[in-house]
Amino acid sequence: MKSLLKMTIVGVALASGLASAQNYPSRPIRLVLPFGPGGVGDITARAVAQKMSEKMGQQVIVDNRPSAGGIVAAEVVAKSEPDGYTLMLLNNTNAVSAAMFKSLPYNTLRDFEMVTTIGAFSLGVLVQPESPVKTTRDLIALAKSNAGKMNVGSINIGTTQYLSSELFKSMAGLDYITVPFNNTASVLTAVRGGDVRAAFEFLPPVLGQVRANALRVIAVSSKNRFAPLPDVPTLNESGLPGYEVMSWNGIGVAAKTPRALVDRLNREVHDAVNSPQVKQRFQELGVEPNLNTPEGMRKNVTEEIAKWNALIDKARIPRL
């Protein structure tokens, strides 16, 4: 009897989810972003949202909710109704936060249904154009000859940039100071002014300055070379085998959103990213399309959290 009742409840839930998917969307959809307007993540999200709006017949409204670690935006979506009308632009910062913060007002894996990853891009190791540091090995040698004294720039403690520097330091067996700055502009000013000998930063926002020879990239953090800078080697091929950090973003919704809605959103996002207009925009920004299944995205997020937890423990970085 209990088994029959359980099967009936499951059947009703599936039927309800399918009915919701058939009528979806009947009103505007909100896409919550964990950062402010104007950055690469914001621009890529708006390109995808616009294409989804055109195809779905309802506006996908971008809602910027910047905060440390992306916590404010994630909490909004985690506690929203599981009806497919509130989406979250999850990204590698959310995986870092899950490892870096002692407690969060949500659980990154339990409180979200994953829909799909969208795009990915690399970080670069930046130096002054006139710096004698030409390669990763040069930077490692400089750090070893100035043990405990060399400064390397990044964004705030607990960010992907900061932990990328700490991962480099750990894997190369170095002793230097990772100096956190509040924003990209401050990091780049510090590199150009010689306040730091190198810096870890996402590549898309700095491509213009690299092409203008205001900065030089000696290595990239991705497994494969960064398409807009094909002559720049990866850290993996520059003496640090296994080093790989990518900035990625994707779509998540509140836990218990019906699978039929998750699948519908997965198809809509895939169609948007595969459209010629969005592909071109991604190429202009230096973002690689990176589509996935809901299960594939969950595996990616789970592995990212585990990687950063392991680094934080090994490097003894105080959790926030």
- 280 pLDDT band (50/70/90 cuts)? very high
Residue with tokens 């009742």: 5
State the DSSP string of 212-270. Answer: TTSSEEEEESSSS--TTSTTSPBSTTTT-TT---EEEEEEEEETT--HHHHHHHHHHHH
Percentage of the chain modeled with pLDDT above 70: 94
- Structure tokens given for 316: 């003894």
- 3 pLDDT band (50/70/90 cuts)? low
pLDDT over threshold 90, residue 117: yes
- 37 pLDDT band (50/70/90 cuts)? confident
CATH of 122-220, one of 3.30.1110.20, 1.10.3720.10, 3.40.190.10, 3.20.20.190: 3.40.190.10
What's the average model confidence in pLDDT over 24-53?
93
**Residue 152, helix vs strand vs coil:** strand
What pairs with residue 217 in β-bridges? 126
The rounded distance, in Å, linking the Cα atoms of 284 and 287 is 8
Determine the pLDDT at residue 17. Answer: 52
The predicted model scores a pTM of 0.83
What's the average model confidence in pLDDT over 229-241?
95
At 41-66, the pLDDT tens digits run 899 999 999 999 999 999 999 999 99
Q: Do the two domains 2-120+247-315 and 122-220 of this chain adopt the same fold? A: yes
Query: What sign does the dihedral 301-70-318-238 (CA atoms) show?
Result: positive
State the DSSP string of 16-30. Answer: HHHHHHHT--SS-EE
Q: How far is CA 44 from CA 140, 145, 245, 286, in A?
A: 34, 41, 19, 10
CATH numeric code, 2-120+247-315? 3.40.190.150
The rounded distance, in Å, linking the Cα atoms of 113 and 67 is 22
Give 157's contacts (C-beta < 8 A, 6+ positions apart): 180, 317, 320
State the DSSP string of 194-224. Answer: TSSSEEEEESGGGHHHHHTTSSEEEEESSSS
Determine the pLDDT at residue 1. Answer: 53
Residue 229 CB neighbour total at 10 angstroms = 17
Q: Where are the domains of the chain?
A: 2-120+247-315, 122-220
